[in-house]
Amino acid sequence: MYQSLAFKVKVFIVSFLIILVQKTKASEEHENPKCIGKIHLLQVIECVLEHSPEYKHEKLELGVREGRKIVNSYLFPSNPFVSFSQSVRYGNQENFLGTNNRGYFLNGEILVSQEIFISNIRKTKLQGSEIQINSQYIKLEILRRETISEAIKASIRYENSKKFFSETQNLYNTAVLLHNVILEKVKAGVLAPIDSDLAYAEVLKVKKLYELAKRQHSKYKANLTVMMGISFHSPLEITFLPENIHIKEKNLEKLLQNGLKNRPEILLAEQNILFHKKNSEVLALERIPNLTITGFLQKDGFNENVVGIRVGLPLRVWKTQKGELLENNFKEKQAEELKEIQLHTIKQEIIEAIENFESLSSELKSYSKESLKHFETSLKNLQKAMQNGQIPIKDGLITQQYFISAKLSYLETFTEWLVSAIEVLRACGFPILEFEIE
């Protein structure tokens, strides 16, 4: 019994592993080749948009609203109703001899009914459907802009994290090399043992920076590869990243006006208000009942054929649409307040984006190309001097920290400056892929 159970467990594990391997291979086979390797920034954006489930969801919602438009375009409020009945009536019938005979008569009816509009509610509903479809196109544009913005930011952070990681890796290798040189000199009696301890402490400190940069690089790659829908381990190098973004318009008021004029969120809020107004018209028209016209062909109790017409009109006694109209009126007022909230949000986003960009621009100007080259040269000279015992190790390590900090701070500031520039383009309603704004 136990052997049989163990065999079943083994079979289950092997089957599970085979399925897992097949799924892994299938996912690798279906990985989009245009989204891996050395690719252009525009390809990254295309991959992100193609993979984005949020963007796909909103595109499918457009189909939902197109379907609702077809529903509202029906010529009649309901399908025709057809009914057929047949009955037999038994009775007495007197013959020519004056005797009663038991007989029967056939009664039947064919009835056709059709409900029709007597108001222009169909036209009003179609207008409401058009507003909803337009709103969905605007939603798609909003999501497209946000997705492009996030894709560019993620690409910038990913590529610059490579540089940051490379710098810390070089610093770590240099720190290890320096420690080994100093350790040899300590063993030879040229330097004091404390110098070796100081150098090893520097190795640990730089190792922490190196591991932090490594984790940050993995984090940014994970974020970008998930957005693109590719494997984390896929090779990825992005070209044509922005290096210098100019935003020539500095006047905050003009930037605010541009954002409030061009941001699609405002147009979406206005469309929502318009839809609720149109919905109020629909609810008011629903107070006018639909007419039902019925035609029938009947064989009556006298065995005669009868053709007739019937008109039905429901009475609006209990359901008067009063509650629905009141509800929609408040929804309209809510939509107006949501527009105000959106205006406040956009203003805040623009101000924060501009202030952040200006602050980082000022910070970035502190790092000139000449000073960065000088830092690089001074750092190499300092490390050689420490290796040769020309300066005290303690003083050399303290000085080295200033140069390391300056180099890494520049990379961090440059990255955040580029990201802040992209945010300015998004917040102010400028085309995000145009990296120079007049």
pTM of the predicted structure, to 2 decimals: 0.82
Residue 294, φ and ψ in degrees, nearest 5:
-125, 130
Whether residue 403 has pLDDT greater than 70? yes
354-388 pLDDT, tens digit each: 999 999 999 998 888 777 788 778 878 887 887 77
Lowest mean pLDDT among 114-128, 245-259, 325-339, 381-395: 381-395
pLDDT for 198-223, tens place per residue? 888 888 988 999 999 999 999 999 99
* Averaged pLDDT score across all residues of the chain: 85
Tens of pLDDT, residues 303-349:
678 888 999 888 888 888 889 899 999 999 999 999 999 999 999 99
Tokens read off for 110: 């064919």
Cβ neighbors of 54 (< 8 A, separation 6 or more) are 143, 147
Structural contact between residues 78 and 294, judged by C-beta atoms closer than 8 angstroms: no
- The pLDDT of residue 13: 47
Distances (CA, A) of 23 to 3, 73, 301: 30, 46, 74
